[in-house]
Structure 1
Amino acid sequence: MTERKTTMTTRRKFLTTAAAGAAAAPLAAPALAQSTITWRLQTYAGPALAEHVLDPAIAMFNQIAGDRMQIETFYADQLVPTGELFQAMQRGTIDAVQSDDDSMASPTEVTVFGGYFPFGSRYSLDVPVLFSRYGLKEIWEAEYAKVGIKHISAGAWDPCHFATKDPIRSLADLNGKRVFTFPTAGRFLTQFGVVPVTLPWEDIEVAVQTGELDGIAWSGITEDYTVGWADVTNYFLTNNISGAWIGHFFANNDRWEELPDDLKTLFTVCCDQSHYYRQYWYWGGEADLRVNGTKMELTTIPDEEWDTVEQAAQVFWDEIAAESETKAKVVEIFKKYNADMQAAGRPYRYGKA
């Protein structure tokens, strides 16, 4: 894993550097044919994370597509704030987006399930199976078609753990903690005294240093190390509220329909390749850094106490299901899937659900 530079990149410094680089790029970049299709894609991820989770896939696409199509990438909040990604894509300001539904404030019925739906998954393989074999893919495609967006690909990313300045060894330790997290995860965690805080992604490291935040519940330990959060937090809670983030690639539907079929296929394959990379990068990285990482001390809330959180999640699921027919359908799929995995036993599930 590439070591993160010790110098801190502020938003102003990053944008200044990006602007300078953009101004210089035409001098070095090869000329494109006038007929070249060009897209702009913005990700929820900052530059250090995007180096792993986005850039390789788009570089692959651009190399293969050549003069036929090129995609320019932008990182978290660079063109628009992450919470405005959906609106920008719907308007056509941005052609495509890499994000979860929750972070980009999607107006669909499935938004609450994007990102970290509490205890919806235990392992990263749960997510592609839920989409490919249990019907979530068709539901997502239908919901986004209603609002002019093409849902291209869903994948499993890292689990959701707390990284904090002070140790978390009991539920009581969560009380009053100001935490950067996803909207749905924050909604769920408030019952345990967590105070969800929304800030621009690139401001999180400084917010922890200044005391504006007590911790982060946004990722697993791989991401904590990669983006620098492990440098400003002291403890990593091994209990998680979700085994894998549900993230996606989306595109403005009009722009998508303008593409020839082979470029649609190529972009889909590159998106799937990005998900595949994340699957093993996170799975291996989570274990490696728990064992060999030196920056964060591991803490654990005892099983008998954490069971109350898992039980609360089931109540939360039912509350979500009561909100609409589509949400009820998705919750039933989650329940059916997790029941099947529990019945299957090891290695799919073991212990309590």
Structure 2
Amino acid sequence: MDRRSFLTKAAIGGAGAAAATTLAAPVIAQTAPKVTWRLTSSFPKSLDTIFGAAEVLSKRMSEATDGNFQIQVFPAGELVPGLQAADEVSAGNIEACHTVGYYYWGKDPSWAVAAAVPFSLSARGINAWHYHGGGIDLYNEFLADKNIFALPGGNTGVQMGGWFRKEINTVADMQGLKMRVGGFAGKIMERLGVVPQQIAGGDIYPALEKGTIDASEWVGPYDDEKLGFYKVAPYYYYPGWWEGGPTVHFMFGKKAYEALPPAYQALLRSVCQGVDANMLQLYDFKNPTAIKSLVANGAQLRPFSPEILSACFDAANAVYAEMEASNPAFAKLWGSIKAFRSENYTWAQIAEYNYDTFMMMQQNAGKL
């Protein structure tokens, strides 16, 4: 074949390919219909790590569908109060929310199990359970009659135990302690003499400053630093045993989710898993700097004593036994986590624990 003949045929072939692409476009468009959802968050914009996860979901869904799948994100309070986000999705008033299941534990404690309950799993452990231990399916089985389909949408990692105006060394020191702590943790702490308080985030600082409360839990170093708690309650305790690896969920209206084309459903599941991982990675990146800054500004780190942790662990197990005996849905979810929890910590204490412990020793010795 001579050069002129080759170029002529290549040009014809190129034009044909371009025409084929043009003809195929409407077919592609048909598989990516226009969808617009609203998503209400349980979090304010100021918590960029948590609230920002919903914005990441929105951005990635739009990019992956050439702008055809739009999710409008609203912060807590703009459409509905943050603690009513799941209610609005369940009622079909809005297509999606970004929230934490334990906010709704008062309706049924089963809501909390797949998010975080005291002495459950670490972030890695709970994610293993969600994605490979049947956790996502079990939670959605519970949520099915509530018109909700949920997927993990973030994790903070183990949280801190909170800010205290005075040192807490023994169980006796907890008697009469007024602490801003809700959900399951509050129920457990009540058994040890703590008086749980329900206070909105913006009201915590003045309550600590005036002595209206004695302590407050929040999240961890990066988020806590913004609120300045160290100025009025300098003792910063750890770990937050009630949230060893709390999962934040994207909750979608079941009918709205099932109405999506299969390709959109698959994409949504994939993007949610990416956002889930991204939040934990973000906290792991930001918290190291924040904890150093807090200490430099006067925060005094304190571990909960073994006595306090053991008493809380025993109290939690007593509460769980009561709930398992009276609530089949709770028993099914918690039973699944318990079965995996034992296996998870058997493995975690072998390679991972020993490697991390050795490296921590090197860091403390100034060798890193």
Same fold (TM over 0.5): yes
Tell me the residue number matched to 1:237: 237
TM-score (norm 2): 0.76
Question: Taking structure 1 as reference, are residues 202 and 311 closer, same or farther at Cα in structure 2, changes over 3 Å only?
Answer: same
Q: Deviations over 1:70-128 (max 9, x none)?
A: 1111122332122322221122222111111121458466213254301012x210111
1:199 aligns to what?
Answer: 199
Which of the two has greater helix per residue? 2
SS of equivalent to 1:187 = helix
Q: Tell me the alpha carbon deviations over residues 192-238 of structure 1, each in whole angstroms, 9 at most, x when there is no partner.
A: 22222223344434443444433322322232125555565422102
Q: Report the equivalent of 2:281.
A: 280
Q: What is the distance in 2 between the residues matched to 1:77 and 1:233?
A: 28
Secondary structure of 1:146's aligned partner: helix
**In structure 1, distance between residues paired with 2:239 and 2:126:** 19
Structure 2 residue 143 is the aligned partner of structure 1 residue 144: yes
CA distance in 2, matches of 1:135, 1:106: 24
Moved more, 148-157 or 240-249: 148-157
Once the two structures are superposed, residues 293-352 of structure 1 have per-residue CA deviations (whole angstroms, 9 ceiling, x without a partner) of 3342101232244222223222222122112222222222222222213433324669xx
Distance 1:132 1:115, change over 3 A: closer
1:68 matched to 2:68: yes
Partner of 2:249: 248
* Deviates most, 340-349 or 249-258: 340-349
Judged with a 3 Å threshold, the aligned counterparts in structure 2 of structure 1 residues 72 and 49 are, in CA distance, closer, same or farther, namely same
**Residues 77, 196 of structure 1: CA spacing in aligned structure 2 closer, same or farther, 3 A cutoff?**
farther
- Flag the 1:116–1:205 CA change in 2: closer, same or farther, 3 A: farther
Alpha-carbon separation, structure 1, partners of 2:119 and 2:163: 18
> Which position in structure 1 is the counterpart of 2:322?
319
Percent pairwise identity: 19
Residues 131 and 215 from structure 1, CA distance in 2 versus in 1: closer, same or farther, beyond 3 angstroms? same
Closer/same/farther in 2, CA of residues 208 and 336 from structure 1, 3 Å limit: same
Aligned length: 315
Q: Is the CA contact (8 Å cut-off) linking 2:105 and 2:112 kept in structure 1? A: no
Measure, in 1, the Cα distance between the counterparts of 2:336 and 2:41.
28
Q: Give the aligned partner of residue 6 of structure 2.
A: none
TM superposition score normalised by structure 1: 0.78
Q: Which runs of 5+ in 1 are unaligned?
A: 1-34
Residues 1:236 and 1:340: Cα distance change in structure 2 (over 3 Å):
same
The match for 1:223 is 223
What are the Cα deviations for residues 144-187 of structure 1, in whole angstroms up to 9, with x where unaligned? 11221112335533323222333333333333333232311211
Q: In the alignment, is the contact (CA less than 8 A) between 1:148 and 1:252 conserved in 2?
A: yes
Q: Which amino acid aligns with 1:326?
A: A
Aligned to 1:336: 339
Which structure would you say has the larger Rg?
Answer: 2
Note the C-alpha offset of 1:142.
1.1
